[in-house]
Structure formats: C-alpha cells, structure tokens
Structure 1
Amino acid sequence: MKNLNEIFQSFEAGMRSPKAVKPKAYLQNIGLDYNTLRIGFNSGQFHHRVSQELKDHYESMGLLAKSNAAVRDDSMTAYTAFGRYSITFPLLDVSGKIVNLFAVRFEMASPIEQYLNEEGLYPSYPHDNTRRLFIVSNALDAASLLQSRAMENREAVLALHEGRLLPQHLEAIRSLHELEEIIIIKN
C-alpha cells in the first residue's frame, strides 16, 4: 500500500509533467520554484485506474471521500480527492517522514488552503542547533522564506497550522536548547 511519501513523490512527478502548465504558472506568479523546494501538483487523479483496495486505503488516509456525484455506471463509486487540482507541500514528523499534506487549490475564485490532518511540521522539525526561529502564518510564507536564502546557518522556519500553534510546534520549540530568539512574521 502506498504511504504519504509515495503519494507525494507522485505529486512531485506531476509538477514536472509538461501538462502541469497552470500549477507552474501559479508558482511563478507567487515567486516559488518547484526545482528548489519540495512542491507537488495534485491533479486529483491519483485514484484513477487503481484497485478498490487501494481506493479504500486512500479513503482511510483521508485522501479520498465518497461523493454523490453522478457516475456513468451504477457499479462505480464517485470520490472527491483531497486537494484536487492543487499545489502541495509535505509536512514531516520528527524523523523526517511525510505525515501530512498542505494543499493550495489555486484554481478557485479565492485560493483555498487545506491540510490533510493535524500532524507534522512544515518545512520540517528545526535542527537541534537552531538559535533563531522564524514562525510564519503558513507553508507558502515558509517556502518563500526558505527560497529567499535569507536565513543563516543556525536559523530555521516553522509554518503555523491554519494560523495555530499546535502541540508539535511547542514540542519542537522546547527541544531547541540553543534557541536565543523567536521571530513571528505575520502577514
């Protein structure tokens, strides 16, 4: 069964597809480069042409939800995919494993941001030697700061989860024994 690491790798491959014109244009418009950051494109089709067992697995992970949408055959089940047609970012646990996804559905009238669950941190847990920690509103802001290369060697960034500080944020901050300064950047 595929885990979130494998799913996200398929999203990264999707971003590199020649057909991913709109997500690449959106990233260019907001100044992010998928070649420097881990950013994927979820077309919402990851569940097409897979077994029912795999669809059930995706449903248990929260990646799919049954839908009442019309289908061409009564024997088929319609699904709504998490973050359909979105750029996606991976959230990691303390060991560096992808445990959550942050999606920006950019084709909506107003882009919609959503998380798969409440686990993990973006871009990752800060290194133990972090002296200065930047806390930003969301993954897009964290990605922008990372890409800017404005941070120095012993600096790190953490994105809040829908503007909230979760227990894993506090755990990560408490583990930073050389931390001297926290800078909160609000937009």
Structure 2
Amino acid sequence: MQNLEDLFHSFETGIRSIKATKPKEYLNSLGLDYAELRIGFNSGQFHHNKDQQFKDRFEALGVLKKSDAGVQKSTMTAYTVFGRYGVVFPLFDKENTIVNYFTVRFGLNSPVEDYLNADGVYPAYPHALTKRLYVVPTVIDAASLIQSKALENKDAVLALHNGQLLPQHMEAIEQLQELEEIIIIKR
C-alpha cells in the first residue's frame, strides 16, 4: 500500500469480511449497500505488523498520528488511526484519484462524522455532459440518493463538505458543459 487509493482497497476488503457484521448492520440501517456503492470499513489495524516506512507514509497523509497511549514493548510506537472502526467513503479529485476520506465512526454513543482533509468531492466529479445536478449537504445524503436509483441519465449528485461549498465544488460545476438545472437539497 502506497497511498489513499491502495488503502481504500483494503477498507473495501474489510467491509466484505465475514467478521464485519456491525458495519454492515450500520449501513443497512441507513439503507446503503456496500456492494453497490464504494464503501469500506476501517478496523483501525491496517498498520499493524508493518514497517516504520509504511507507517511514516500514512502519517504524512494524516491517516496515522503518533499517540502517547501505552504499548506492550518500549520499542513500539502507538498510533491513533483516522476513522478507526468506521465506515469509509472515498472522495476524488478531477483525475478520479482518491484524495480524501469521509468516515462515520458508528460504534460510539452517537456517530461521529469526519473528513481526513478538505480535498476532493463525493461521489466524483460529474460527467461534463451532466444536465441536472443535485447538490446535497452530506456524503450520506449523496450515497442515499445514488442508492435510491432516482437519478436519471445525465443526472449527477455532488455532496457538500460539511455543508460547505468549496473551490473544488465550483470547479466541478463550472466544467459542466450541458448543465441546465442545479437542484439544491437542504435538510
């Protein structure tokens, strides 16, 4: 694993694991199907038994942060893992490369939603020939709209970042050559 793309593939494998019953139950409660959407599960263990160079790469990406938690051996370093025990959605740049993650840590008293950084869009940059664009407040709203099968040919959806319209959203919208309508869905 070298980057966020490779790591996300491991998260997709994680959600398909027979042991991943709780994340599957959580997604089911939202009406989302990991077999139809790109959703993964971060158990928080992807860095276990890996060398320091591996850990350094993901620390630089912000997925791992050194922690002062206790460890079994004094030669080991503890890490906090971004999105630990959460479902993970990928965000993409205009080259369709994963540049960010949105996670929902569902195992807590109340679910915690978080982004790794401020890059990318979900579910992807819309096709240039999109005629009708739905803009929704959250990644979960976008995933739900996609899952509903309500989108027609030449429709697309774009999730805001914590309810915010960022420069990458404007860039995605401005490249739409056939855009006729933007539908903003609020909560």
Normalised TM-score (structure 1): 0.98
Give the match for residue 42 of structure 1.
42
Q: Where in structure 2 are the equivalents of 1:25-104 lying within 5 Å?
A: 25-104=25-104
| Residue identity in the other structure for 1:107 | G
Shift of 1:72: 1.4
Give the match for residue 177 of structure 2.
177
Q: Which runs of 4+ in 1 moved over 6 A?
A: none
1:11-66 CA distances to partner (integer Å, 9 max, x unpaired)?
A: 00000000001000001111000010000000010110100111011100100001
Alignment partner of 1:50: what SS? coil
- CA RMSD, Structure 1 to Structure 2 (Å): 0.8
CA distance in 2, matches of 1:51, 1:162: 35
1:71-100 CA distances to partner (integer Å, 9 max, x unpaired)?
A: 111111110000000000010111111111
| Residue identity in the other structure for 1:15 | I
Give the match for residue 136 of structure 2.
136
Give the match for residue 127 of structure 1.
127
Alignment partner of 2:87: what SS? strand
Alignment partner of 2:184: what SS? strand
Normalised TM-score (structure 2): 0.98
Alignment partner of 2:32: what SS? coil
Count of paired positions: 187
CA distance in 1, matches of 2:118, 2:177: 25
CA distance in 1, matches of 2:176, 2:58: 35
| Residue identity in the other structure for 1:183 | I
| Residue identity in the other structure for 1:71 | V
Give the match for residue 111 of structure 1.
111
CA distance in 1, matches of 2:14, 2:41: 5
Give the match for residue 7 of structure 2.
7
Give the match for residue 164 of structure 1.
164
CA distance in 2, matches of 1:109, 1:184: 31
Alignment partner of 2:95: what SS? coil
| Residue identity in the other structure for 2:53 | E
Shift of 1:177: 2.0
Unaligned stretches of 5+ residues in structure 2: none
